[in-house]
Structure 1
């Protein structure tokens, strides 16, 4: 599909998480984040080649690692951080911890008006959990950030 200027139109963007154990990862995201599996395709050995999960208004895909797509745990971690805006950062973090995640940064009030922290799921993916606790302007956030570093 194209727009009036004949440039391609972006129709969807989602993260595709490569994991070492697809079925276990789907169960983790279901338990920890309330994900709903909306489709799954497997190879003849039962490995997930594509599973689409709905998390609130967002979707992510999960697939088992293979020769072409390594999982973060085989690479020493992931440089990508999934950011989740939630209504209760403490409750979401606690659910993730109960399901097997680990704390990278504990949930705490942040200078930019969020309560949040960072967790690692059992498959090497990083998740930043954030809850708005204070409505700030961009200028106020920048001033607080400047103050933090001076």
Structure 2
């Protein structure tokens, strides 16, 4: 599938700032990106060596893990055509959580739930924005 270029796990946490500090200290992670709305982290990307993972604060339908239960993980799927990949996921049995649309942060994307309950965020870049431009657009949304 040449139109898929990455799969990135996204952890949902109860305290994003504390999680960034923990992963930085415990794993030597580097915070590559971190964006907030009203003080909540809505997206952060970290790297450990050549590996990348993402995290966000709980909210917007994404619960943080409850101790003793299975933790929620969002899969972030970078693609060249969000509509085509989402259509394939839907045809295979996924359901729409958020429809594909042009997003303020410079991407076209949406979210589907697979038949097993995992959520897949499908996103294709529309424009190249600096981190400051992304944050300014998110600030304008709140």
What residue in structure 1 maps to residue 93 of structure 2? 100
Which has the larger Rg?
1
Q: 2:77 aligns with which of 68, 77, 84?
A: 84
**Are 1:143 and 2:136 matched, yes or no?**
yes
Conserved in 2, the CA contact under 8 Å of 1:100 and 1:122?
yes
Matched residue of 1:134: which SS?
A: coil
TM-score by length of 2: 0.50
5+ residue gaps, structure 2, are: 1-6, 10-68
RMSD over aligned Cα atoms: 2.3
Equivalences, count: 77
Higher relative contact order (CA 8 A, sep 6+): 2
Give, in angstroms, the shift of residue 80 of structure 1. Answer: 1.0
Counterpart of 2:107 (choices 114, 122, 133) is 114
Per the normalisation by structure 1, the TM-score is 0.48
Report the equivalent of 1:133. Answer: 126
Deviations for 1:82-136, whole angstroms, at most 9, x for unmatched residues?
0000000000000000010000000000010010000000011110000000110
- Runs of 4 or more above 3 Å deviation: none
Hey, which of these two has a bigger chunk of strand by percent?
2
Q: Provide structure 1 residue ranges, at least 5 long, that are not aligned to the other structure.
A: 1-13, 17-75
CA distance in 1, matches of 2:129, 2:89: 28
